Amino acid sequence: MTSTGLQSEFSRRSLGRRALSLLGAGAALPFYNEPALAQLSMIGPLPPDAVKINANENPLGPCAEAAEAIYSVVKKGGRYMYEETFSFSRTLAEQEGLKPNYVMPFPGSSDPLHRAVLAYTSPDKPFIMGDPGYEAGQRAAQFIGSKVIRVPLNSKFEHDVKAMVAASPNAGVIYICNPNNPTGTITPRADIEWVLANKPKGSILLLDEAYIHLSTETFGTDLVAKDRDLIVLRTFSKLYGMAGLRAGAAIGRPDLLAKLSSYGAGALPLTGMVGAAASLKSPNLVADRRKIIGDTRNDVFDFLHKHNARFVPSVSNKFMVQWDKPGGEMVKAFAAEKIFIGRVWPAWPNHARVSIGTPDEMAKFKTAYKKIFGV
Ligand code: PLP
């Protein structure tokens, strides 16, 4: 065996061992169970020509300014450089029209999402979410024995806010993802304000805006500026293309954020912090990327309309496709064509989620779609 062969053999084995130990850990660690792993898009080694449109990632990656900032800071990575975290946090606060102490930086938004659920729900303070919805908060709630109440989306695929508020007089957290994951649909601003005006006393609205930059919807952070009872989650994993680099924030009244701080500790990744700050300062990034991803999405939707497909029109970087058989079989059929689409939600067993990739990747998706659906 050549040394390169040996190396790749070694890395294959150690990768296998690590995967096994991770799976072993899955038995014990609540956040790393099977659906969590699937959600972390660990779908195993893929063929080199695979199309990976399963995890709502952004194939554009970080913008040029972010990449440049990251390259130039790498050699200083022996230091914590907390000032870069403060600088990111201040920039975000300024852009959102908030005082600096209304922003708590994190390595992505999963971390503050979990913390908010741990801090604000308990066995007698349920976690209320839309169905189908993003499952991470539900798993955090289940870990501490909090009741989870899933409220079906309404016929327009919006959160049914009246039913969510009515679901429990003791709600701890009402979680709204806007635009929603997996449907990519918007819950109108008036409904979000209605939740804040009518939710049970002592509860918070957890407004997950992971995908908001892909839509033209107004951010919820002006409601934070008005000191309402909500925490908004920001991430740089989606439009900003930094999922692997890790940056995000919880945005809320300082007294609400204070309850999140003790569930973890440690410095944040310098690379993520400088990349996020540089992204925020890139003048046309959000508009340009919204258009690039939106154009690809609209092209796929034209194709789907033309072929009378059943799908949910989305304003985000993913959509739900329906067929007559279990969604899992659709996932397998696409995988056989080397197209790796997303997962299935129990509430909608005949749908599967598809993320928007590059135009080239979506062309391959369309070819596979025609073959699988026989159109
Ligand atoms: N919230 C929603 C709705 C998501 O879809 C995701 C990831 O897919 C996250 C939060 C967490 O993302 P991250 O931790 O990368 O910010």
For residue 137, how far is its CA from the centre of ligand 1 (angstroms)? 10
Task: Quote the tokens at residue 44.
Answer: 């195993």
pLDDT in tens, 136-151: 999 999 999 999 999 9
What pLDDT was estimated at residue 109? 98
Share of the chain above pLDDT 70, in %: 89
CA angle 358, 302, 133 (to 5 degrees): 70
For residue 113, how far is its CA from the centre of ligand 1 (angstroms)? 9
For residue 120, how far is its CA from the centre of ligand 1 (angstroms)? 19
For residue 6, how far is its CA from the centre of ligand 1 (angstroms)? 37
The structure's pTM equals: 0.90
Would the CB of 235 count as within 6 Å of ligand 1? yes
For residue 244, how far is its CA from the centre of ligand 1 (angstroms)? 12
pLDDT in tens, 318-335: 999 999 999 999 999 999
Q: Which phi and psi (to 5°) does residue 39 adopt?
A: -65, -30
Tokens 């061992």 belong to residue:
17
DSSP assignments along 122-153, one per residue: BTTB-EEEEES---HHHHHHHHTT--EEEEE-
Closest residue by Cα to atom 2, ligand 1, is 210
Q: Which atom of ligand 1 is nearest to the CA of 108?
A: 16
Task: Quote the tokens at residue 318.
Answer: 């993913």
Nearest to 313 by CA among 360, 372, 354: 354
Task: Quote the tokens at residue 95.
Answer: 């852009």
Tokens 């604000």 belong to residue:
120
Would the CB of 248 count as within 6 Å of ligand 1? yes
Bond preceding residue 179 cis, omega within 30 of 0: yes
Which residues contact residue 70 at a Cβ distance below 8 angstroms, ignoring those fewer than 6 apart?
62, 245, 271, 274, 275
Q: Which atom of ligand 1 is nearest to the CA of 39?
A: 8
Ligand 1 pocket test, candidate residues 113, 185, 345, most atoms within 8 A of CB: 113
321, exposed or middle or buried, with CB in 10 Å at 0-12, 13-18, 19+?
buried
Would the CB of 210 count as within 6 Å of ligand 1? yes
For residue 149, how far is its CA from the centre of ligand 1 (angstroms)? 20
What pLDDT was estimated at residue 108? 98
Q: Which residues of 150-184 are buried (b: 16+ CB within 10 A; e: fewer)?
A: bbebbeebbbbbeebbebbeebbbbbbbbbbbbbb
- Residue ranges in the chain whose pLDDT is less than 50: 1-35, 37, 40
Would the CB of 177 count as within 6 Å of ligand 1? yes
Would the CB of 203 count as within 6 Å of ligand 1? no
For residue 57, how far is its CA from the centre of ligand 1 (angstroms)? 10
Q: How many CA atoms lie within 13 A of 75 on its CB side?
A: 2
Residue pair 317/184 in contact (Cβ under 8 Å)? The answer is yes
For residue 360, how far is its CA from the centre of ligand 1 (angstroms)? 25
- Please state the domain extents for the chain: 43-59+285-373, 64-280
Tell me yes or no: is domain 43-59+285-373 CATH 3.90.1300.10: no
Residue pair 137/205 in contact (Cβ under 8 Å)? The answer is no
* Helices of type H across 74-188: 82-95, 110-120, 136-143, 161-166
For residue 210, how far is its CA from the centre of ligand 1 (angstroms)? 6
CA gap 314, 358 in Å, rounded: 17
pLDDT in tens, 43-72: 778 899 999 999 999 999 999 999 999 999
Q: Which phi and psi (to 5°) does residue 3 adopt?
A: -65, -35
What pLDDT was estimated at residue 39? 53
Ligand 1 pocket test, candidate residues 231, 237, 314, most atoms within 8 A of CB: 237
Q: Quick one: how far is CA 131 from the chain centroid?
A: 16
Q: Which atom of ligand 1 is nearest to the CA of 235?
A: 16
Candidate CATH numbers 3.40.640.10, 3.30.160.150, 3.90.1150.10, 3.40.50.10420; the one for domain 64-280? 3.40.640.10
Task: Quote the tokens at residue 92.
Answer: 């975000």
Would the CB of 138 count as within 6 Å of ligand 1? no
